Amino acid sequence: MSRIPHIEGVLSADEVVQTAESIAALQLDNGMIPWFKDGHCDPWNHVETAIALDIAGLHQNAERAYEWLVDIQHADGWWFNYYLPGGIVEEPKLDTNVCAYIAAGVWHHWLCTWDRGFVDHLWPTVERAIEWVLSMRRHDGTILWAKEEHASPWDYALLTGSSSIWHALTCAVNLAELINEPKPHWAAAADQLRAVITTRPDAFEPKTRWAMDWYYPVLTNAMEGDQAKARLADLWDTFAMEGRGIRCVSDEPWVTAAETAECSLAHAAVGDLSTATDLLYWTRAHRTDDGSYMTGIVYPSFEHFPAGERTAYTGAAVIMAADAITASSPAAKLFLPTFAAD
């Protein structure tokens, strides 16, 4: 039976539910969950919020979120990058990482609910999305980042996005096996992509200024064991502000709660629950009275940046980190090395 994550002195179960309810309160009638009231929505962070809703037991809201993706998916399998309320396309870019993440979300929903009917319903959407993502694959196994709808793809891959795609491919392979439609070419693509991530960092566009490029290969388990632990240790001093959180970028004193919570997930993935818990505790500076989270804080001025912005995906990342640390939900191992075998 699912339990709500609870970490004494860090984040209570009631606070997790309150944060999830703050996310659900943003959900529109069509199922879309914007970043904030009247804000835009991208399908990747939309899935992230659905995952958090499932952890908190708000399964109907999560299903409505996935139904929105079913309703707006292009026949070729992709989604645009940003949508505004009312179905308006704000940014017509097609991002492979954004489009792949639904596989991780649907696998997570299955682990939380064991609702095979919903998996069957979402399967065609997942299948189209993954096939489109793999259509952007290069001969070396890397997957190009993005393209405009009627243009050629940009000629480079990103480490953060590729790490997330690897994780999504692994979830997609699990879904395919669950419904007895194995996809060996998906598994082979995942294996080749992981090999590039772990052995050829030069294959990706340099983005070393960004914290996500540091911890995301570990968060997704594309890197494991000693390699993962060494990666987290090597750049800790570059990105961590002790007692504050994780800088979004290495050269600015801007701590974001989402990056801090995601880095907590990465440390949980390597078994360092002490550091993971510390990082999650540091996000409390961003928490507001209604359970939502301020996106970022600039130090030492303590200025909120962007000013006044509270984002649904930030609260979602906090809930996911709490679940990984406490192993509360049936899907708590989604970002742990053993998840594929369970």
Domain spans, the chain = 13-341
Q: What's the fold here for domain 13-341?
A: Glycosyltransferase (1.50.10)
Judge if pTM exceeds 0.85. Answer: yes
**Whether the Cβ atoms of residue 141 and residue 189 lie closer than 8 Å to each other:** yes
Contacts of 55 (CB under 8 A, 6+ apart): 4, 5, 16, 20, 112, 319, 320, 323, 328, 329, 331
- What is the separation of C-alpha 242 from the centre of its chain, rounded to a whole number of angstroms? 24
In this predicted structure, what is the pLDDT of residue 256?
Answer: 98
Q: What are phi and psi of 168, to 5 degrees?
A: -65, -40
Q: What is the DSSP letter of 308?
A: T
**Whether the Cβ atoms of residue 71 and residue 85 lie closer than 8 Å to each other:** no
Distance CA 136, CA 94 (A): 11
In this predicted structure, what is the pLDDT of residue 223?
Answer: 97
In this predicted structure, what is the pLDDT of residue 1?
Answer: 52
Return the residue matching tokens 């649904």: 312
Distance CA 330, CA 339 (A): 10
In this predicted structure, what is the pLDDT of residue 86?
Answer: 86
In this predicted structure, what is the pLDDT of residue 91?
Answer: 92
Distance CA 67, CA 297 (A): 34
C-alpha distance from residue 256 to each of 38, 130, 259, 306 (Å): 21, 30, 6, 10
pLDDT tens, the chain, 342 aa long: 569 999 999 999 999 999 999 999 999 999 999 999 999 999 999 999 999 999 999 999 999 999 999 999 999 999 999 999 988 999 999 999 999 999 999 999 999 999 999 999 999 999 999 999 999 999 999 999 999 988 889 999 999 999 999 999 999 999 999 999 999 999 999 999 999 999 998 999 999 999 999 999 999 999 999 999 999 999 999 999 999 999 999 999 999 999 999 999 999 999 999 999 999 999 999 999 999 999 999 999 999 999 999 999 999 999 999 999 999 999 998 988 755 434
Cis preceding-peptide flag for 300 (omega within 30 of 0): yes
